[in-house]
Amino acid sequence: MAIPLPLLQRAVANYFLGRVYCVSFEVTHRCNARCEHCHRGPPVPGEQRASVDRLVEICRELRPIVSIMSGGEPLMRRDLEDIVRGFKEAGASSRVNVNTNAALLTPDRFASLKEAGIDNFVISFDFPDERHDEWRAIPGLFGKIESLVTNLSAEDRKRVALTCVFNAWNFRDAPRMAEVALEWGVTINFSAYTWLRTNDMSLLIQPEQMDEARRVVAELSEMRREHGHVLTSDGVLQGMLDFYETRRMDGCQAGRRLLVVNPDGTFSPCGLHVT
């Protein structure tokens, strides 16, 4: 898949200028889900939020390759479209994605966010069936995601990527999740669970599960080569296994190439460190 020239030019410029590649704008810490692997969810009384103009100013200063609208649940911000539009009109970020649990992502909201400038909709996906509802404590969520995605046009589905946090409870289902993504005509990405958000070590893949995890990763790699819809590279998949074996990951670029902007406009090097 060829990299668009403007994206490549921004990447080269940011590399030589020492700029960040990706900024996650946590536009709110409020969330309508209560996920097993995350500390977000409870109400945030008196949450201070930067204005749209301030967030655009920050993005213009940082000039990332990719800006991610995240949270919490970013769709709980009624002015999310204004933020996205501001980033795009200012030319502040080459791409703007939104990471959402999709509970609030109606067809109309999808259309309005696309019109505002969202390039990709990254939808959290923990199980290939109704267990997803229980995991996120949102009844009917799996069916809602399935209905939304499968009723999109083929062109709009190209904007959708499912994203799964690979952990001890769901790793055996990862190949089926990749199959579902293929059936729906979308891509899928996998990332490793860490205990930094919740201090819950039980969700880490345990030593006695590693052989099975290796077989799962080998199957995902084969599906990626055959169909091209699994976005996670072989190197990253192997890095996930290494992390679960050693409980460490060297060479982290958080704060250098990756950055988090909090709802109030302050910076954090990493969204996994709860402050």
- Residue 237 CB neighbours (<10 A): 22
Q: DSSP for 210-247?
A: HHHHHHHHHHHHHHHHHHS-B-S-HHHHHHHHHHHHHS
Domains annotated on the chain, with CATH: 1-32+48-124+254-275 (3.20.20.70), 131-193+205-246 (no CATH)
pLDDT band at residue 12 under the 50/70/90 scheme: low
- Residue 208 CB neighbours (<10 A): 7
The one-letter amino acid code at 212 reads E
Contact present, 84 and 117 (Cβ < 8 Å):
yes
Tokens of residue 180, six digits: 């579902």
pLDDT of residue 233: 97
Give the side-chain half-sphere CA count within 13 A for 134: 7
Tell me: the pLDDT tens digits for 138-182?
Answer: 999 999 999 999 999 999 999 999 999 999 999 999 999 999 999
The one-letter amino acid code at 249 reads M
The one-letter amino acid code at 268 reads S
Tell me: the pLDDT tens digits for 46-81?
Answer: 999 999 999 999 999 999 999 999 999 999 999 999
Distance CA 224, CA 233 (A): 8
Flag whether the pTM goes above 0.75.
yes
Q: Tell me if residue 274 falls in helix, strand or coil.
A: coil
Q: Lay out the sheet containing 22-26: strands in order across.
A: 187-192, 160-166, 120-124, 95-100, 66-70, 22-26, 258-261, 267-268
Residue count (the chain): 275
Backbone torsions φ then ψ of 29, nearest 5 degrees: -95, 0
